[in-house]
Amino acid sequence: MREPSDEDLMARVASGDAGAFRVLSARHAPRAVALARRYLSSDADAEDVAQEALLRVWRAAPSWQPTARFTTWFYRIVVNLCLNQKRRAEPAPLDDVPEPVDPTPDAEARWEEAQERDRIADAVSHLPDRQRAALLLTYWEGLSNSAVADALGTTVGSVETLLVRARKALRDRLQPREGGK
């Protein structure tokens, strides 16, 4: 027996089926948390955003119209909540304490990989909100440009432009600077 589609589950949720909502939540909550975490860089904020997005799905279910795929609609909710969270958040001081070095033989390589991941995450965090959203939805969530356009409420051409600009900004920020740094 095949799994019910998201759209079938939403139809059941619209009629108040809590079991269908649990299935839909279990299916999409982990990716919502992951997307929000990449966007907000905070586990607690990411979980709050995912929970709020699911709450909004439950509330909107009776009036939901399947004009786009459920995932497109849901990711749009998550991205919008992330944008709202970022607008409300005050900048927190960064902890300058480096991660402890693991004494095992591959520790240096793992440390360098972690540093590179942190450097990339920092570069992504400095992108303008719409560029970051397009980049995360495309490369981390694997959505097509069309689905990203739907999620961001824009055109495919605009998504392509956002991605070109985001990649250029990342290249500029990540390329080695003169003087060895």
Out of 93-102, 115-124, 167-176, pick the least confident.
93-102
Given a contact cutoff of 8 angstroms between Cβ atoms, the answer to whether 40 and 132 are in contact is no
Q: What is the mean pLDDT of residues 70-92?
A: 82
pLDDT exceeds 80 at position 54: yes
Tell me what pLDDT residue 103 has.
54
pLDDT digits (tens, 9 = 90+) for 108-141: 677 777 778 888 888 888 899 899 989 888 888 8
Nearest Cα to Cα of residue 37 among 138, 149, 121, 151: 121
Q: Calculate the CA dihedral of residues 157, 46, 122, 73 and round it to 10 degrees.
A: 0
Q: Which residue has the tokens 């497109």?
A: 72
Out of 20-34, 60-74, 84-98, 139-153, pick the least confident.
84-98
Residue 2 Rama label (left phi>0; alpha psi -120 to 50; beta): beta
Q: Which residue has the tokens 């839909």?
A: 24
Tell me how far apart the alpha carbons of residues 12 and 150 are, in angstroms, rounded to a whole number.
24
pTM: 0.60
pLDDT exceeds 60 at position 7: yes
Given a contact cutoff of 8 angstroms between Cβ atoms, the answer to whether 23 and 54 are in contact is no
Domains of the chain plus CATH, in order, are: 1-91 (1.10.1740.10), 103-181 (1.10.10.10)
Residue 85 Rama label (left phi>0; alpha psi -120 to 50; beta): alpha
